[in-house]
Chain A
Amino acid sequence: MKEIFTPNMRLSDMLDMNYSLVQVISRVGVDLKHSGLKVADACAFAGIDPATFILISNVYSFPEYIPSPEEVASADIHDIIRYLHGSHDYYTGMALKNLESSFDRLVEPCDENQKKVILKFFVDYKKELEKHFSREEEEVFPYVESLLSGVRNPGYSITDFEEHHENVDEKMEDMKNIVMKYLPDVCDENMKMWVLLSIYRLRDDLRRHTYVEDNILVPTVKNLERDGR
């Protein structure tokens, strides 16, 4: 398949084409002040494989983009994990925190019971998501790292980890619909709009994140488990 972004592009041109890539750049450690450089050179500064960076950027920007098996097979797993880890930091350190404080302000005018119910829903969702992340951070990534350094842990396989993404996505959809349609009239329209936009952004970001896990990390690790490397 023809690649959409290439290592010979200037990084700033890539960002102009899709400014949400600003987030990807910081997650893999590429410095924004290198945006004037070609992608390959900016990647060299950050010590990330340019092809893997392009792969992530294509997947992140174009939901209909399906990477070829060769692209997936040649992806650098260290860099993929670096991206996933950076995303986790962004979700827990920024996105969810901001969303939570916006939620607090949004439901502020509601009566106590309503407030309690809505915030509980959000907090439960947040906890579930964080649990999911910390499992990856504490079990999956170390497992993959040890695999890369040639150590096999026979009690564990990457297939144990291919699961429950659906549930968090469904809850996110529910949250979106509740904010959109079912909040009491006392809630401020502008606040509602703001929260809704944050939810949509986070939802799309999480879906791309899940895609990278399920379709790039998992198959690459499966190959590694089978063949070693």
Chain B
Amino acid sequence: MEDKKSVILVSPSEIVARGLEVVIGDSGEFRVEEIFHDLSRPVEARLRIVDPDIVIIDPTVFDFKSRKEGRGRLADICDSIVMALDVSGLTDDVLRQYDGSVSIYDSPDEVLRKVRSSMESKQTDSPMSDGGELSSREKEILVCVAKGMLNKEIADKLNLSIYTVITHRKNITRKIGIKTVAGLTVYALLNNLIDMNSVQ
């Protein structure tokens, strides 16, 4: 009933990428569209065009210094779920930026389970729920926005990556059709999510 989810793999290692392609492709739920070995300009352009459901990327394609910001570059390119491919033991502060991770030491079943669960955790915010109710996480974030908090502050408070906060905010806007902070504040107040005293 549902189309296969499209996946793009980015890994400097051909062998690792091919292996992952087999594991993911065998499930029948996912289709690996393309494999890339770096994140050069032409690859970015492809990502923009294909706009896959999932990107699984080895963060070592970013040099060590820019590894934490790497996820942000992807967020600018496409709306995909982005998972880290852990080859060399990534640090927590890097992993936290991603929507999930798989390790090359995971069994095939484990890999699939992790990819599915990353899909699902985002699924509640998928376009299918357009005009629908906000999830409790989204409400929590909406309240912070209405109180005038910045993305960075919200991320720190809720222990999320800033990209996750941005994704939630995009989803909130898509669901309720309100974009500006002033508008979101009105929405939050009219729906009794906050009271007058907590604004400004």
Contacts and interface: CB of A to CB of B under 8 A. Distances in A.
A118 interface: yes
Interface in A167-187: 167, 170-171, 173-175, 177-178, 181-184
Given A113-B196, A116-B196, A117-B196, A178 B186 contact: yes
Given A113-B195, A177-B176, 20 more contacts: A114-B189, A114-B190, A117-B196, A118-B190, A124-B182, A170-B183, A173-B177, A173-B179, A174-B180, A174-B182, A174-B183, A175-B183, A177-B177, A177-B178, A178-B183, A178-B186, A178-B190, A181-B176, A182-B191, A183-B190
Contacts, number: 54
Instruction: Determine chain B's interface SS by DSSP, over half rule.
Output: helix
Given A116-B196, A117-B196, A171 B180 contact: yes
A194 interface: no
A45 interface: no
Contacts of B179: 170, 173-174
Contacts of B62: none
A121 B191 contact: no
A116 B186 CA distance: 10
B190 A117 contact: yes
Interface residues of A, number: 20
Contact of B186 (A121, A167, A170, A173): A121
B192 to A, nearest CB: 10
B187 A178 contact: yes
B148 to A, nearest CB: 14
B183 A171 contact: yes
Contacts of A181: 176-177
A121 B196 contact: no
B190 A167 contact: no
A114 B187 CA distance: 10
Contacts of B177: 173-174, 177, 181
A184 B190 CA distance: 7
6 contacts: A113-B195, A125-B182, A167-B180, A171-B182, A178-B183, A182-B176
A201 to B, nearest CB: 19
Contacts of B187: 178, 182
A181 B187 CA distance: 10
B189 A117 contact: yes
Nearest to B187: A182
A220 B189 CA distance: 45
Contacts of A118: 186, 190
